[in-house]
A and B are shown apart, each in its own frame.
Chain A
Amino acid sequence: MKSLKVSGIGALAVALAFAVAGVSVSKDATAAWEPKKPVEFVIMAGKGGGADKMARLMQSVIEKHKFSSKPMTPINKPGGSGAEALIHLKQASDPDHTIMVTLNSFYTTPLRQEKLKIDPLSYTPIARMALDTFLLWVHKDSGIKNVDEFVKAAKSSGNKWIMAGTGKGQEDQLLTDFLNSAYDLDMKYVPFKGGGRVAKELAGKHANSTVNNPSEQLGFYQAGDTVPIAAFTPDRLPMFKDSPTFKELGKDYVYFMQRSVVGAPGMSKEAAAYYQNVFKQVYDSAEWQKYMKDKSLQGEYITGGDLQAFWKKEFENHRQMLTKMGEM
């Protein structure tokens, strides 16, 4: 009897969350609700990775400016390529005090692990903080300066050409698959744990190319070890003005990594409004704006229904990409 009642409440709460998503939130509502205890701030990735660094930056900005009346306690749940974090939120006993930093495994993990029965669209949209960009990188010593030379070199090496990337079926492999089919290549994809490790594989010449985010390659790039030859963005990035986009080169392909904050499914409307306001302030802070500029991050702050619509579109995109790859 009791469990029935609880699940009834849960369903109601989910319905409410959907309602929140459709309605734009007024500022007055934020004054009403405040967290009553420390907020669990789940990080859908391991310690030290890109998502983790970003989450800890958000936490310290919140702490420094006292944007939140209760502290946010970060917990890393990298297990199962984010599956553990998604399940943790889905089963959260207190959805009003559970939020999560997420990335594109928000789409790919539920798609690839169907038996988890996770619907990303059931999570409460709080904030899209940034869109991380991708570039195609090679080592300086390869002498490759543009995509034509890259294609020529990769073609002549056949499947001896090593593309290092993060886990299988994740962003880096989607991009590798695109390059393989768009330029008729047969690059070999070798997965490593984390983008930092991938960047090091290229700098140490254990791989021929990578599709790292700028933040992962920045150190080696500034030292002149690695070269970005093209970007997967709609326009050239200010930091890499000499690297053309694939769009310019006649391939209509753009890919971003979301850096977003989501709430547990079933979070109350008032709580969602509170966190949306907190993260809006983080987004507008000088620290976050500087970080976005330094790491070549893109993207406006979006929330509520806009964010939900964005997820819906991206989820569908990933479903198509993964189906084409035979990963589903």
Chain B
Amino acid sequence: MEILGHLLDGFAIAFEFQNLLLVIIGVTVGLFVGAMPGLGSVNGVAILLPVTFAVPPTGAIIFLAAIYYGAMYGGAISSIMLGIPGASTAVATTFDGRPLALQGKADHALIAAATASFAGGTISVILFTLFAPPLAAVALAFGSPEIFALMMLAFATFIGLGSDDIPKTIFSICIGLVLSTVGYDVISGEPRLLFLDITGFLHGINFLVLAIGIYGIGEMLWTIETSQGKMTVSQATLSISRFFDGMRKLTGSIKTMLMGSFLGYFVGILPAAGATPGSLMAYGVAKTMAKDPASYGKGNVDGVVAPEAANNAASTGSMLPMITLGIPGSPTTAILLGGMVIWGLEPGPRMFIEQTEFVWGLIGSLYVANLFSVIINLAFIPVFLWVLRLPFTILAPMIFVACVIGGFAPIQDMHDVWLMLIFGVVGYLMRKLDYPMAPAVLAIVLGPLAEPALRQSLLISDGSFAIFFERPISGGIMAVTIFVFVLPIYRAIRTRLRGSSAGGAA
């Protein structure tokens, strides 16, 4: 009951005129920042942080959280429309969002993305409201062995997919892992794998550079080849009846939506993980659990629903360790944390007790931000669809420019733009050879989390791998990982045995 009282106070704060206005401006700005390739919530929040001095801390955090939220919705837009991930968190949304758009179902994909985002956001805020302190304890219980076990589970969900060619998937993962080790190594304190000693490699290879290269440039080359430049990307239109039709079809995705929301929230609260691994894992799990995993990557609405529910849930989740532990769960919350320090607040375990107005005002505004995000997003869908009806000869240069900006924006180094173009050509060639590229992207995201966790664990255990199985949490996760990994192999053997016995009979 105490929580309910606090929550009502929070809503009262969120509905103050100034704060409500901040939420609406914030989600709109966030929507467009998120939709711009390369510009994600991190950039939006970082750029606008100094502006927030004009308002009190509660208003400031409400504004920035609204941008964060809006960007999570917006990221899906260019993923679906252009096939370029609008933000790192929307990489997984391209896997099925793009094929849907090419089939003329962009409106369904966009509606699914917005609705899933709303579900993910709302479920996670409710979880946040009810279980913040106990979940903070869970986040604290995650040490290096647990983080490594979780990363292994993420990889297993991607390898364990019966429909893709397993050796090619593993090859793709290895490429991503090698690329992820370039740069500075925190354990040895040395730079490594600096190709030709080029200084640009010192900051490592940002996975957005790889993702935009493969999905933006590579995809564009592919479309030019297959269409000879004579095509319009999609003839999608939106009418009232199509809108309700899209909403109705989503009822089949409720299970995926719930899974994505819970998984995303949980991954989000773990320090250092954040929304990008959360959305990739949700995609992997959705595909593994699906009755028809083969339809994923070819335009399955569930493939949009899972990552979109997860990335919104994770963005709420990552605020939990930020407020209760003072540890950011994602790069964006790291900036928010910096903001809280500037506003003179001390994030930490006492936040919930001492700064009730701030904390509950934020929570209240998250509910409100969610509602406005989904309304504004749905209202803009016809505008987004108009972009898709442009002829490809106009759209292609626009995509190219967007890719270059997207490659440059995160670190502001031309080195990354060249690298992105190279990845684009390589991605196009690998696609011609029928290599799945999603596992490479997954590996470059998870590699920098998994590798230090592995080495830290082994340092602690003097090189014994038993550390991953002795500890209850990591042992449990490892057991699930092995199960997920073995399941498709078992399935494959069974089908092969049946196939050969059938062949023998004929």
Contact of B341 among A57, A112, A170 (CB under 8 A): A57
Please choose the segment from B139-147, B217-225, B363-371 that sits at the chain A interface, where 4 or more of its residues have CB less than 8 A away.
Answer: B139-147
- What chain A residues lie within 8 Å of B134 (beta carbons)? none
Q: Could you tell me if B341 and A84 are in contact, using CB atoms closer than 8 angstroms?
A: no
Known pairs A48-B328, A60-B49, A112-B189; A222 contacts B348 (CB<8 A) = yes
Alpha-carbon gap, A193 to B459, bound state (A):
15
Contact across chains for A79 and B348 when beta carbons are under 8 A apart: no
A162 at the interface (CB under 8 A from B): yes
Q: Find out whether the CB atom of A169 lies under 8 angstroms from the CB atom of B189.
A: yes
Contact between B460 and A190 (Cβ–Cβ < 8 Å)? yes
1/0 per position for B211-246, CB-CB distance to A under 8 A?
000000000000000000000000000000000000
Interchain CB contact (< 8 A) of B140 among A53, A78, A204: A204
Q: Name the A residues within 8 Å of B46 (CB-CB).
A: 47, 74
Contacts of A199 in B (CB 8 A): 326-327
- Distance in angstroms between the alpha carbons of A206 and B118 in the assembled complex: 36
Residue in chain B with minimal CB distance to A75: B412
Q: A290 touching B344 by the CB < 8 A rule?
A: yes
B42 and A83 within 8 A (CB) = no
Evaluate contact between B335 and A48: CB separation under 8 angstroms. Answer: yes
- A184 → B minimal CB distance (Å): 21
Question: Once the chains bind, are B202 and A79 in contact (CB under 8 Å)?
Answer: yes
Q: Judge whether B186 and A80 touch: CB under 8 Å.
A: no
Docked pose: A117 CA to B1 CA in angstroms: 64
Are the C-beta atoms of A196 and B326 separated by less than 8 Å?
yes
Q: Is B303 an interface residue (CB 8 A)?
A: no
Query: Which residues in A have their C-beta under 8 angstroms from that of B333?
Result: 48
The answer for the CA separation of A215 and B204 in the assembled complex, in Å, is 28
The answer to whether A80 touches B191 (Cβ under 8 A) is yes
Per-residue B-contact encoding for A164-207, CB less than 8 Å = 1, 0 else:
00011110000000000000000010111100110111011010
The answer to whether A190 and B50 touch across the interface, beta carbons within 8 angstroms, is: no
The answer to whether B188 touches A168, judged by C-beta atoms less than 8 angstroms apart, is yes
The interface bits of chain B over 449-461 (1 if a CB of A lies within 8 angstroms of the residue's CB, else 0) are 0001000100110
Please, which residue of chain A has its CB at the minimum distance from the CB of B323? A219
Within 8 Å of chain A (Cβ to Cβ): is B393? no
Asked if A56 and B49 sit within 8 Å, CB to CB, the answer is: yes
Q: Is A259 an interface position by the 8 A CB rule?
A: no
Residues of A with C-beta under 8 A to B341: 53, 57, 215, 291
Prevailing SS type, chain A contact patch:
helix
Q: Is the CB of A81 within 8 A of B184?
A: yes
Does residue B338 face the partner (Cβ distance < 8 Å to A)?
yes
* Contact of B335 (CB < 8 Å), options: A47, A192, A223: A47
Which of B183, B346, B348, B412 has a CB less than 8 Å from the CB of A80? B183
Task: Evaluate contact between A81 and B143: CB separation under 8 angstroms.
Answer: no
Residues of A within 8 Å of B344, CB to CB, are 290, 294
Question: What residues of B have a CB within 8 angstroms of the CB of A112 in the complex?
Answer: 189-190
Bound-state CA distance A51–B100 (Å) is 44
B334 on interface, CB distance cutoff 8 Å: yes
CB-based contact B186/A168 at 8 Å = yes
Residues of A in contact with B, size category = 35 or more
Known: A192-B452, A218-B348, A219-B349. A170 touches B203 (CB 8 A): no
Q: CB-CB < 8 A to A76: which residues of B? A: 411
- Smallest CB–CB gap between A297 and chain B, Å? 13
A225 interfacial by beta-carbon distance below 8 Å: yes
The reply to whether B459 and A167 contact each other, CB–CB distance below 8 Å, is no
Max chain A Cβ within 10 angstroms of own Cβ: one of B50, B141, B333, B349: B50
**In the complex, what distance in Å separates the CA atom of A283 from the CA atom of B326?**
26
A81 contacts across to B, CB distance below 8 A: 184, 189
User: Are A52 and B338 in contact (CB-based, < 8 A)?
Assistant: yes
> Which residues of chain B have C-beta atoms less than 8 A from A188's C-beta?
459-460
CB-CB under 8 A for A200 and B325, given A56-B342, A225-B349 = yes
Given the known interface contacts A80-B202, A223-B350, the answer about A60 and B141 at a Cβ–Cβ threshold of 8 Å is: no
Q: Is B331 an interface residue (CB 8 A)?
A: yes
CB pair B189–A87 under 8 Å, yes or no, is no
Q: Which chain B residues numbered 174 to 208 have a C-beta less than 8 Å away from chain A?
A: 183-184, 186-191, 199, 202-204
Across the interface, which residues of B come within 8 angstroms of A192, CB to CB? Answer: 186, 452, 456
With an 8 A cutoff between CB atoms, is A220 at the interface? yes
Minimum CB–CB distance for B132 against chain A, Å: 14
Chain B residues in 8 Å Cβ range of A203? 140, 325
CB of B271 within 8 Å of the partner chain: yes
Q: Which residue in B187, B191, B339 is a CB contact (below 8 Å) of A191? A: B187
Q: For window 38-67 of chain A, which residues contact chain B by CB distance below 8 Å?
A: 47-49, 52-53, 56-57, 59-60, 63-64
In contact, A204 and B141 (Cβ under 8 angstroms): yes
Tell which of A52, A113, A204, A291 has the most Cβ of chain B within 10 Å. A204
Taking CB atoms, residues of chain B closer than 8 Å to A294 are 344, 346
Q: Which residue of B lies closest to A168 (CB)?
A: B189
Report the nearest B residue to A84, measured CB to CB.
Answer: B202
B53 in the interface, Cβ–Cβ < 8 Å? yes
Q: In the complex, A203 Cα to B348 Cα: how many Å?
A: 11
Contacts of B53 in A (CB 8 A): 60, 63-64
B188: chain A residues within 8 A (beta carbon) = 168
Q: Does the CB pair A219–B204 fall under 8 Å?
A: no
- Chain A positions 70 through 105: 1 when the CB is less than 8 Å from some CB of chain B, otherwise 0: 000011111111011001000000000000000000
- Smallest CB separation, A275 vs chain B (Å): 18
How far is it, in angstroms, between the C-alpha of A263 and the C-alpha of B45 when the chains are bound?
27
Q: Which residue of chain A lies nearest to B321 when distances are taken between CB atoms in the complex? A: A200
Residues of A with C-beta under 8 A to B335: 47-48, 56
Bound Cα distance A113, B202 (Å) = 12
Q: Which residues of A contact B186 (CB under 8 A)?
A: 167-168, 191-193
| A162: contacting residue among B50, B190, B460, CB under 8 A | B460
A53, A219, A223: residue with the most chain B Cβ atoms closer than 10 Å:
A219
Who on chain B is nearest to A88 by CB? Answer: B199
Give, as a whole number of angstroms, the nearest-CB distance from B325 to chain A: 6
Q: A191–B456 Cα gap in the complex (Å)?
A: 7
With A75-B412, A80-B202, A201-B143 given, is the CB distance from A222 to B189 under 8 Å?
no
A78-B184, A220-B325, A294-B346 known; 13 other A-B pairs, CB under 8 Å? A52-B334, A56-B342, A59-B50, A63-B50, A168-B186, A168-B187, A220-B326, A220-B349, A222-B346, A222-B349, A222-B350, A223-B348, A223-B349
11 contacting pairs across A/B (C-beta < 8 A):
A48-B337, A60-B53, A64-B53, A75-B411, A75-B412, A78-B203, A79-B202, A80-B202, A113-B191, A199-B326, A222-B346
6 closest A-B pairs by CB: A219-B348, A48-B334, A79-B203, A168-B189, A223-B349, A206-B143
Which residues in A have some Cβ–Cβ distance to B below 8 Å? 47-49, 52-53, 56-57, 59-60, 63-64, 74-81, 83-84, 87, 112-113, 162, 167-170, 188, 190-193, 196-197, 199-201, 203-204, 206, 215, 218-220, 222-223, 225, 290-291, 294, 327
